[in-house]
């Protein structure tokens, strides 16, 4: 019997490998983009031992803020030593962990529904849905987002092994689970929710039995087995078994504070800020991102944010309907719903992009629960097999079509990055004198939500042209690209009457994004007509200054201004 079970597991794993390769193989050779170059350059130039990153932020600085993610440094160091500047190995590494997550979704669903006759169908379908869910492209393809499949793998492994430990009293499972939890804590902050998730699971396990149910809700006369004091029962069954996870969490916060000087902050904010409006917007974005994608998600999200009471009513209605539909399985469904809310807690203080699906990696771990719940609901259609097959087929086709489109989008973004770094930069180097000063303005930020060169262009030049002696100055002014704009002339540049340059989008639309303004002794840039709600504009003003602070006329500056125009980098004509 056990041999048959393992054969089934191996067949499922083989199927998931084939399925994921079918959709993600086209991205295995995608070039590096954006933050990838930061991590590669940091890895190449770092002179401190890897163990020191366990006491600092990922730049090797102690008490200076940032993020505490030493596993990132470890993983990039491993990959860089193995693959250098060959992106194939990095992508393969991330895909292996993604496939591992898909398999753990299968195993976890089997364990959660171990007493159900249709557990195998629920588990396989959940793993298939997770493999095809379109909001996973960013986490799987973007090399710098390796933390999401990595931490999700060890997060699920820790939770799955804890369940095995509780059900089979296998102490080895507990030890490996705790070790997995440590890895997750050292990878990404979302790990802090695991003890709470285990607590929620223990609570549902306790109340799912008659004795636990009546002990908690006060009907002791109907409890089976020896009567125990209510508080003692709760403490023993709900708190005691996973006390080690809470102790590790406390230790993590102590080490984290020692390393970066922050408890609740992260690289984008050094303080805990409770903005209810922002939290609600992120919550809506996370929910809509489970089923809607690209332009449709943006429209639906904006509608729900504007009509907040309707959204809240709809969520409550959906939850009630799910519990009614699942009938005797309502406790399992309730646990899954509560688990989703637990898993999104750390990311509620972040935000999605206003125009694209950028940020969907925040939903990678929480979507595990969504896939299991969706599978559970579909498998409730038992009498009409034709209808069930139709529903499953519809979801698979819907997810597959969008996933392919998203993966092709990331491939195009990588091609733009490769064109700029390996061809355009080389031509510019051949054109300008040695030790020239190069200023980059309006590089592609993203292509339909896929990262291009918001960050990392300076590091990329140093990596691929290590002999260069240029003074490089990338400005935090970027372009948002789509299919229509990729090879178009987006900005029209001209001299400004008081000195410097002014650039305006060809159609007056806000295709420019970045910081509103910056002033240095050498230059000033301003994004005129800046929309502070979504960080965009349609005009750039760039002014150069002499030693006295006077504005320099256009063409007289000592910089070579590099712009992105019609699909290539160009030197702005003086």
**230: pLDDT confidence band, cut at 50, 70 and 90?**
low
Residues in the chain: 574
Share of the chain above pLDDT 70, in %: 92
Q: Where are the alpha helices (DSSP H) in 46-86?
A: 70-83
pLDDT in tens, 515-539: 999 999 899 989 988 988 888 999 9
Residue 93 lies in domain: 2-208+242-380
Q: What strands, in cross-sheet order, belong to the sheet with 471-474?
A: 471-474, 437-441, 560-565, 568-571
Q: Do the domain assignments include residue 161?
A: yes
Residue 242 pLDDT exceeds 90 = no
Neighbours of 380 (CB within 10 A): 16
Per the domain annotation, does 420 fall within a domain?
A: yes
Helix, strand, coil % in the chain, rounded to nearest 5: 60, 10, 30
Q: Is residue 353 part of a domain?
A: yes
Residue 27 covered by a domain: yes
Residue with tokens 């979504």: 534
The verdict on 368 and 444 lying in the same domain is no
Residue range 491-507: mean pLDDT, rounded: 90
Query: pLDDT band for position 218 (50/70/90)?
Result: very low
Pair 372, 498 in one domain? no
Question: Does 498 lie in the same domain as 373?
Answer: no
Residue-level pLDDT at 300: 92
Same domain, 109 and 253: yes
Considering the chain, what is the average pLDDT of its residues?
Answer: 88
How high is the pLDDT of residue 213?
46
Contacts of 23 (CB under 8 A, 6+ apart): 131, 132, 400, 403, 404, 407
Q: What pLDDT was estimated at residue 214?
A: 44
Same domain, 186 and 43: yes
Q: What span, in angstroms and rounded, lies between the C-alpha atoms of 119 and 188?
A: 31
- Verify that 350 and 430 share a domain, yes or no: no
Q: How far is CA 564 from CA 37, 420, 493, 572, in A?
A: 19, 9, 11, 9
Please tell me the total count of domains within the chain: 2
Same domain, 190 and 280: yes
Task: Give the pLDDT score at 35.
Answer: 94
Question: Which among 20, 54, 306, 229 has a CA at the least distance from the CA of 136?
Answer: 20
Residue 354 confidence (pLDDT): 76
Q: Does some domain include residue 391?
A: no
Neighbour count for residue 277 (Cβ, 10 Å): 9
Asked if 407 and 141 touch (Cβ cutoff 8 Å), the reply is: yes
Q: How far is CA 507 from the centre of its chain?
A: 32
| Separation of CA 87 from chain center | 19
Task: Indicate the residue among 365, 380, 395 that finishes a domain.
Answer: 380
Q: What are the residues whose beta carbons fall under 8 Å from the beta carbon of 534, sequence distance 6 or more?
A: 354, 355, 510
| 424 and 553 share one domain | yes
Q: Is residue 217 part of a domain?
A: no
Contacts of 458 (CB under 8 A, 6+ apart): 472, 474
Note the pTM of the prediction, 2 decimals. 0.91
pLDDT at 266: 58
Residue 506's pLDDT is 92
Q: Give the residue among 125, 256, 140 at the shortest CA–CA distance from 188.
A: 256
Query: How far is the C-alpha of 377 from the C-alpha of 395, rounded, in Å?
Result: 13
Q: Are residues 372 and 461 in the same domain?
A: no
Cβ atoms 108, 100 nearer than 8 A: no
Same domain as 422, residue 375:
no
Question: Are 492 and 376 contained in the same domain?
Answer: no
Mean pLDDT of 487-511: 91
Summarize pLDDT for 68-111 with one digit per residue, the tens: 899 999 999 999 999 999 999 999 999 999 999 999 999 999 99
Given the DSSP bridges, would you call strands 523-528 and 551-552 parallel, antiparallel or unpaired?
A: unpaired
* φ and ψ of 493, to 5 deg: -100, 145
- Of 321-330, 342-351, 466-475, 500-509, least confident by mean pLDDT is 321-330
**Each residue of 403-418: pLDDT tens digit?**
999 999 999 999 999 9
What number is the average pLDDT over the span 207-214? 56
Give the Cα separation of 21 and 98 in Å (integer).
Answer: 11
Q: Is 359 a domain residue?
A: yes
Residue 228 lies in a domain: no
Q: Are residues 120 and 55 in the same domain?
A: yes
Secondary structure (3-state) at 42: helix
> Is residue 2's pLDDT more than 80?
no
* Per-residue confidence band for 120, with pLDDT thresholds at 50, 70 and 90: very high
Rounded mean pLDDT, 172-201: 94
The residue to which tokens 């972040």 are assigned: 350
Opening angle at CA 434, ends 429 and 439, nearest 5: 65
């Amino acid at each position: 019997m056990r041999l048959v079970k393992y054969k089934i597991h191996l067949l499922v794993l083989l199927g998931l490998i084939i399925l994921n390769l079918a959709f993600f193989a086209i991205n295995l050779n995608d070039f590096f983009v954006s933050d990838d170059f930061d991590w590669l350059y940091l890895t190449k130039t770092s002179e401190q031992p890897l163990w020191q990153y366990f006491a600092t932020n990922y730049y090797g600085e102690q008490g200076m803020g940032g993020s505490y993610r030493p596993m990132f440094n470890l993983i990039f160091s491993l990959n860089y030593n193995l693959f250098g500047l060959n992106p194939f190995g990095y992508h393969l590494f991330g895909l292996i962990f993604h496939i591992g997550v898909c398999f753990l979704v299968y195993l976890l669903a089997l364990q959660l529904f171990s007493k159900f006759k249709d557990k195998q169908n629920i588990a396989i379908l959940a793993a298939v849905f997770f493999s095809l869910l379109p909001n996973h492209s960013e986490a799987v393809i973007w090399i710098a987002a390796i933390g999401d499949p990595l931490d999700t793998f060890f997060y699920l492994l820790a939770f799955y092994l804890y369940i095995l430990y509780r059900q089979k009293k296998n102490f080895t499972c507990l030890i490996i689970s705790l070790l997995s939890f440590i890895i997750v804590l050292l990878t990404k902050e979302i790990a802090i929710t695991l003890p709470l998730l285990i607590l929620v699971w223990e609570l549902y396990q306790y109340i799912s039995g008659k004795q636990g149910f009546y002990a908690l809700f006060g009907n002791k006369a109907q409890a089976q087995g020896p009567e125990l004091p209510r508080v003692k029962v709760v403490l023993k069954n709900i708190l005691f078994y996973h006390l080690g996870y809470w102790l590790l969490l406390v230790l993590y916060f102590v080490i984290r504070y020692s390393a970066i000087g922050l408890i609740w902050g992260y690289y984008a904010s050094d303080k805990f800020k409770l903005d209810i409006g922002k939290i609600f917007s992120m919550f809506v974005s996370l929910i809509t991102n489970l089923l809607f994608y690209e332009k449709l998600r943006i429209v639906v999200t904006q509608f729900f944010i504007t009509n907040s009471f309707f959204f809240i009513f709809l969520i409550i209605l959906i939850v009630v309907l799910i519990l009614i539909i699942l009938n005797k399985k309502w406790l399992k469904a309730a646990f899954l719903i509560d688990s989703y809310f637990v898993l999104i807690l750390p990311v509620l203080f972040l935000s999605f992009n206003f125009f694209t699906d950028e940020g969907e990696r925040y939903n990678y771990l929480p979507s595990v629960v969504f896939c299991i719940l969706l599978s559970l609901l579909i498998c409730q259609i038992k009498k009409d097999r034709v209808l069930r097959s139709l529903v499953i087929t519809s979801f698979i086709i819907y997810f597959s079509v969008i996933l392919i489109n998203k993966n092709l989008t990331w491939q195009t973004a990588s091609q733009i990055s490769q064109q700029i770094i390996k061809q355009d930069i080389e031509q510019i180097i051949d054109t300008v004198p040695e030790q020239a000063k190069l200023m980059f303005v309006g590089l592609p930020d993203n292509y339909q939500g896929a990262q291009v060169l918001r960050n990392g262009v300076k590091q990329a030049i140093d990596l691929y042209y290590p002999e260069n002696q240029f003074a490089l100055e990338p400005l935090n002014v970027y372009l948002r690209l789509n299919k229509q704009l990729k090879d178009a002339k987006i900005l029209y540049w001209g001299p400004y009457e008081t000195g410097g340059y002014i650039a305006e989008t060809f159609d007056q639309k806000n295709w420019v994004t970045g910081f509103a303004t910056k002033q240095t002794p050498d230059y000033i840039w301003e994004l005129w007509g800046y929309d502070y709600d979504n960080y965009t504009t349609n005009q750039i003003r760039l002014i150069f200054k002499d030693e006295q602070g006077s504005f320099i006329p256009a063409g007289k500056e000592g910089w070579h201004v590099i712009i992105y125009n019609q699909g290539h980098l160009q030197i702005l004509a003086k």
